[in-house]
Amino acid sequence: MKILVAVKRVADYNVKVRAKSDNTGPDLANVKMAINPFCEIAVEEAVRMKENGIASEIIAVSVGPQSAQEQVRTALALGADRGILVQTDTDLEPLAIAKCFKAICDNEKPDMVLLGKQAIDGDNNQTGQMIAALTGWSQATFASEITIDGDAVTVIREVDAGLQTVKLKLPAVITADLRLNEPRYASLPNIMKAKKKTIDNTTPEELGVDTSPRVTLLKAAPPAERQAGVKVEDVAELIDKLKNEAKVIS
């Protein structure tokens, strides 16, 4: 089984991202970048499948600038066999990214596409669903458990009402939720080995993908600062403040 796993370059989740002074977008200058946490979970799941003899090859794919090679190398250090970087300096929308993955799927013929349910920068939660729509493959989102059985895969997915179990025919597109697994750390020997692994570079133009934007960002600004709360001595004072200051009750 060949698995295609998505790796997105995002600001590290520990970093507090600020808006640019001209409000044209987030200021990522000198900000620590990392693999999107949900993508990291997808990589871990693919590696576990290979360790269990289910997967034969793992291809880590990223769509982004040249610097995204760093995140592809990290995926290689975690256990992926080779990488593909679709290089572009444009901040692509989910549809354009899904089209890039569709083109790569046509070339590589994977049995499964694994990716995080969403990225922590755009928070769109769209790319996986769009890949499934473009390829016509089965899909399961928000996966918390994946079981392979021949040419079928059973996925337990997290939904608002609890858990839902679905069975899909391969090839399939699966998006990873937080509780699917606990990602490992790359060991030093594997980091050294990853430097020798292959990363193929291509572009959306070479893949024949139209990356024209459908959405225009008008403004990016930090949320309004909240005023500090106050402590009240008893319920009577609380009622008084809600009635006379906040005026939310009468």
Nearest C-alpha neighbor of 5 from the set 34, 51, 40, 33: 40
Nearest C-alpha neighbor of 148 from the set 171, 127, 119, 131: 171
Domains of the chain: 2-221 (3.40.50.620)
- What pLDDT is stored for residue 29 in this prediction? 86
Helix and strand element counts for the chain (H, E):
6, 13
- What pLDDT is stored for residue 135 in this prediction? 96
Local confidence pLDDT in tens for the 250 residues of the chain: 999 999 999 999 998 888 888 888 888 888 999 999 999 999 999 999 999 999 999 999 999 999 999 999 999 999 999 999 999 998 899 999 999 999 999 999 999 999 999 999 989 999 999 999 999 999 999 999 999 998 999 999 999 989 999 999 999 999 999 999 999 999 999 999 999 999 999 999 999 999 988 888 888 888 888 888 888 899 999 998 899 888 888 7
